[in-house]
Amino acid sequence: MNTEAIRAPSWHIHPDAEALARHLARAIARMADAAIAARGAFHLVLAGGNTPQPVYAALASRGRRWDAWHIYHGDERCLPPQAPQRNSQMAASVWLQQVPIPRAQIHDIPAEMGAEAAAAAYAAILPPQRFDLVLLGIGEDGHTASLFPGQPWGLDPATPAVLAVHNAPKAPAERVSLSAWRLRRSRELFFLATGSGKRDALAAWRRGEDLPAARVGTGATVWLDEAAWPGS
């Protein structure tokens, strides 16, 4: 069992979701430039849900050297590929379809195969090296990606890099998620949280509650707006 101590994240508070999206898109574009200059490629894991949408939309006009971007997903919902609720569809519609990232470098989770088969297939395509940046959301219950309280989180590197998730408390119940250890195998981790609905989960994180987001987010950076800030 990975017993790495929970290290407090750093909190970046922005006036509102629009300002957060603007600053975060700029920070991601800068990180991409630096990674491409240093290593010739930028390996980015995307967060699902609604919160990242304005960030992805802002990135569409900010990024460059798209030929060197490699895109992965932190989790996916077991729905048909064209289903609008798919995290891959969300990212494609607001950003990826508008920029020339080579299709072979956009790695969607084949969640339409079913959770078990998709988890095994995705584990086989993940890069051997660390990601450059992992983006993550947080749910009201403190979940992140599709790692939910009371379910396996995959903290131990001896466990699979990608988990099949069943009976998820957030619809749809069947999902696929990168495990906690594989999400953490990244140079940087950024969490995104906007709106008062996330305040309790962030307060619980700050109190030191053992939540999936807190375990994955050890030493991470949390980008949030004032509405989500639980106060000191």
Binding residues vs ligand 6PG (CB under 6 A): 47-51, 75, 77, 87, 137, 139, 143-145, 170
Any idea of the CA torsion for 99, 105, 106, 112, to the nearest 10 degrees? Answer: 150
Q: Which is nearer to ligand 6PG, 132 or 174 (CB)?
A: 174
Residue 193: CB minimum distance to ligand 6PG, A:
8
Residues 62 and 25: beta-carbon distance below 8 Å: yes
Task: With H, G, I as helix, E, B as strand and everything else as coil, classify residue 15.
Answer: coil
Residue 81: CB minimum distance to ligand 6PG, A:
15
Q: Which is nearer to ligand 6PG, 77 or 107 (CB)?
A: 77
Residues 4 and 217: beta-carbon distance below 8 Å: no
Residue nearest to ligand 6PG (CB): 137
- What is the chain's length? 232
Residue 174: CB minimum distance to ligand 6PG, A:
12
Residue 137: CB minimum distance to ligand 6PG, A:
2
Cα–Cα–Cα angle for 22, 191, 172, rounded to 5 degrees? 110
Q: Which is nearer to ligand 6PG, 67 or 140 (CB)?
A: 140
Residue 152: CB minimum distance to ligand 6PG, A:
15
Report how far residue 181's alpha carbon sits from residue 162's, in angstroms, rounded to the nearest whole number: 10
Q: Match 């060197």 to its residue by tokens.
A: 68
Report how far residue 111's alpha carbon sits from residue 87's, in angstroms, rounded to the nearest whole number: 10
Residue 61: CB minimum distance to ligand 6PG, A:
22
Q: Which is nearer to ligand 6PG, 87 or 188 (CB)?
A: 87
Q: Which is nearer to ligand 6PG, 35 or 189 (CB)?
A: 189
Q: Which is nearer to ligand 6PG, 47 or 202 (CB)?
A: 47
Q: How far apart are the first and last CA of the chain?
A: 31
Strands across the sheet containing 175-178: 75-77, 175-178, 162-165
Report how far residue 90's alpha carbon sits from residue 71's, in angstroms, rounded to the nearest whole number: 13
